[in-house]
């Protein structure tokens, strides 16, 4: 059991308006911190009042972006308990990201202990209303004070949380997606598979361009040929073509291996769908569309769970998918997955962990 020191607030913050939580706006009373120092390893785990950090401006994270993050949620079940969804998968991914960024790995059980202990402290922040949850953001920053380009020898691992609203306040609405052909997010050999802030920093320009044109997100193509579909913004993508479900394969290392993606593949197969993980070119999607075989397209991720694409603009062609409505595959997947996450259906795969 991870030893955690508790320094709890004397007075809790006022709770936000549970009907207007938004995303990532209201942070809870406390934060979790653990330090790493060379020779000592990870040490001094503590839960302390949520507060500003005091850091030397020469800390490595500010200059060379040696930083990683994760994202998962705690869900309130109908009988008032709180559960996490596949936190082991987030921690495994966290350690793959750490390896890529030369950040020391964390012990899986320590992180599970930290997550449970921290959510327990903040349990009155886990909202109750339909579709709401407590978003959990673990992250690590490099804190060595020096400007030489080397992996840091000291780090801070922190966890902050915020209650978040139902992603779809008025039912699931399909989104407009712009295919980005100029900028790329990731290349083979790069950090596409790692959950790092740097991937987002370099994707902002494409995102901003798309937003200015009235689109909500960007569909990224592979960084070498600009031909194959990678993913959308902060979501993995699925296309239903002629009844078959196709999602880009992870082998090249330029796609973030989503926990929602992994769970969706398993659930869809369990429902009897054929799911192919393979290279999928934009040309193949356009051809399917022209032949009337592009049944559905949707993104998956922890925040929105399943997000249908209503319009996909390739620059040459605007494809309206499934009449700009959520399709049966996306709907069934959304219903099944959310029922497990919020504890409304039997968890036959053993994916949830009570806090
Ligand atoms: C986090 C993330 C996803 C989704 O992963 P989940 O584990 O399903 O939340 C997809 N793409 C990118 C780029 C991400 O950062």
Report the pLDDT value the prediction gives residue 71, as an integer from 0 to 100: 98
**What's the CATH code of the domain at 305?**
3.20.10.10
Q: Which are the contacts of 263, defined by CB distance < 8 A and separation ≥ 6?
A: 86, 337, 351
> pLDDT digits over 8-23, tens only?
999 999 999 999 998 8
Q: By three-state DSSP, how is residue 249 classified?
A: coil
Q: Within this chain, do residues 63 and 133 fall inside the same structural domain, yes or no?
A: yes
Assigned domain for 115 exists: yes
Say yes or no: 192 and 326 in one domain: yes
Residues 161, 179 share a domain = no
- β-pair type (244-248, 275-278): parallel
pLDDT tens digit string along 70-112? 999 999 999 999 999 999 999 999 999 999 999 999 999 999 9
- CATH of residue 64's domain is 3.30.470.10
Residue 348 is assigned to a structural domain of this protein: no
CA–centroid distance, residue 302 to ligand 1 (Å): 7
Span from the CA of 301 to the centroid of ligand 1 (angstroms): 5
Q: Structural domain of residue 62, as residue ranges?
A: 4-165
- Residues 336, 346: Cα–Cα separation, whole Å: 10
Q: H/E/C letters for each residue in 277-298?
A: EECCEHHHHHHHHHCCCEEEEE
Give how far Cα 26 sits from Cα of 126, 161, 178, Å.
12, 8, 30
Structural domains counted in the chain: 2
- Please, are residues 255 and 230 in contact by the beta-carbon 8 Å criterion? yes
How far does residue 174's CA lie from ligand 1's centre (Å)? 19
Report the residue among 24, 67, 69, 71 best suited for mutation to probe ligand 1: largest number of ligand atoms under 8 A from its CB: 71
User: 276 with 128, same domain?
Assistant: no
pLDDT for the residue 167: 75
Residue 50: inside a domain, yes or no? Answer: yes
| Residues 197 and 335 grouped into a single domain | yes
Name the residue with the closest Cα to ligand 1, atom 15. 234
Please tell me the distance from the alpha carbon of residue 121 to that of residue 282, in angstroms, as a whole number: 47
- The string of pLDDT tens digits covering residues 256-294 is 999 999 999 999 999 999 999 999 999 999 999 999 999
pLDDT digits (tens, 9 = 90+) for 41-61: 999 999 999 999 999 999 999
Residues with C-beta less than 6 Å from any ligand 1 atom: 71, 195, 231, 234-236, 256, 258-261, 300-302
Q: Which two tokens stand for residue 160?
A: 């902050």
Ligand 1: which of 93, 223, 256, 333 to mutate, most ligand atoms within 8 Å of CB? 256
CB atoms within 10 A of CB 312: 26
- The reply to whether 355 falls in a domain is no
DSSP 191: S
Q: Is residue 32 included in any domain, yes or no?
A: yes
Considering the domain architecture, whether residues 147 and 199 belong to the same structural domain is answered as: no
Per DSSP, helices labelled H in the chain are 60-64, 87-100, 108-121, 197-201, 204-212, 259-270, 282-290, 328-341
How many angstroms separate the first and last alpha carbons of the chain?
14
pLDDT at residue 28 tops 90? yes
105 and 206 in a single domain? The answer is: no
Looking at the domain assignment, is residue 322 inside a domain?
A: yes
Q: Are 245 and 268 in contact (CB under 8 A)?
A: yes
8 A C-beta contact, residue 85 and residue 341 = yes
Domain final position from 133, 165, 197 = 165
Whether 346 maps to a domain, the answer reads no
Question: Of 111, 131, 165, which one is at a domain's C-terminal end?
Answer: 165
Closest atom of ligand 1 relative to the 232 alpha carbon: 11
Q: Report the sign of the C-alpha dihedral through residues 336, 119, 262, 186, in that order.
A: positive
Residues 153 and 279 in one domain: no
Q: How far is the CA of 259 from the centre of ligand 1 (A)?
A: 7
One domain for residues 46 and 192: no
Give the residue from 121, 144, 165 where a domain finishes: 165
86 and 211 both lie in a single domain? no
pLDDT score of 220: 97
Are residues 198 and 322 both part of a single domain?
A: yes
Look at ligand 1, atom 10, and give the residue with the nearest C-alpha: 235
Let me know: does 66 contact 128? Beta carbons within 8 Å. no
Q: Are residues 128 and 17 in the same domain?
A: yes
Residue 196 pLDDT more than 90? Answer: yes
Q: Which atom of ligand 1 is nearest to the CA of 259?
A: 7
**Is 57 part of any domain?**
yes
The closest of 198, 203, 167 to 184, measured between CA atoms, is 203
With the most atoms of ligand 1 within 8 angstroms of its CB, the residue from 198, 235, 305, 338 to mutate is 235
């Amino acid at each position: 059991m991870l030893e955690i020191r508790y320094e709890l607030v004397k007075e809790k913050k006022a709770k936000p308006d549970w009907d207007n939580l938004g995303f990532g706006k209201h942070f809870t009373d406390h934060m979790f911190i653990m330090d790493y120092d060379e020779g000592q390893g990870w040490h001094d785990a503590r839960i302390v009042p949520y507060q500003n950090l005091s850091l030397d401006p020469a800390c490595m994270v500010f200059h060379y972006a040696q930083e990683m993050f994760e994202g998962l949620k705690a869900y309130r079940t109908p009988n008032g308990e709180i559960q996490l969804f596949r936190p082991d998968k987030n921690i495994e991914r966290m350690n793959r990201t750490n390896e890529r960024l030369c950040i020391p790995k964390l012990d899986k059980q320590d992180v599970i202990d930290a997550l449970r202990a921290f959510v327990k402290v903040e349990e009155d922040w886990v909202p109750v209303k339909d579709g709401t949850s407590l978003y959990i953001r673990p992250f690590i920053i490099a804190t060595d004070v020096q400007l030489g380009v080397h992996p840091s020898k000291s780090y801070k691992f922190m966890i902050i949380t915020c209650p978040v609203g139902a992603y779809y306040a008025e039912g699931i609405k399909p989104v407009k997606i712009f295919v980005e052909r100029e900028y790329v997010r990731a290349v083979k050999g790069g950090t596409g598979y790692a959950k790092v802030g740097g991937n987002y920093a370099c994707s902002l320009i494409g995102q901003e361009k798309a937003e200015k044109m009235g689109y909500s997100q960007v569909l990224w193509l592979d960084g070498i040929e600009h031909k194959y579909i990678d993913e959308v913004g902060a979501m993995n993508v699925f296309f239903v073509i002629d009844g078959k479900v196709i999602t880009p394969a992870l082998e090249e290392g330029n796609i973030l291996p989503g926990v929602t993606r992994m769970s969706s593949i398993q659930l869809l197969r369990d429902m009897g769908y054929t799911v192919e993980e393979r290279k999928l070119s934009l040309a193949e999607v356009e051809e399917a569309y022209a032949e009337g075989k592009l049944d559905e397209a949707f993104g998956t991720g922890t925040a929105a769970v399943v997000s249908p694409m209503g319009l996909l603009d390739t620059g040459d062609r605007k494809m309206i998918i499934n009449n700009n409505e959520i399709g049966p595959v996306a709907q069934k997947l959304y219903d099944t997955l959310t029922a497990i996450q919020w504890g409304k259906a039997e968890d036959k795969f053993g994916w949830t962990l009570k806090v």
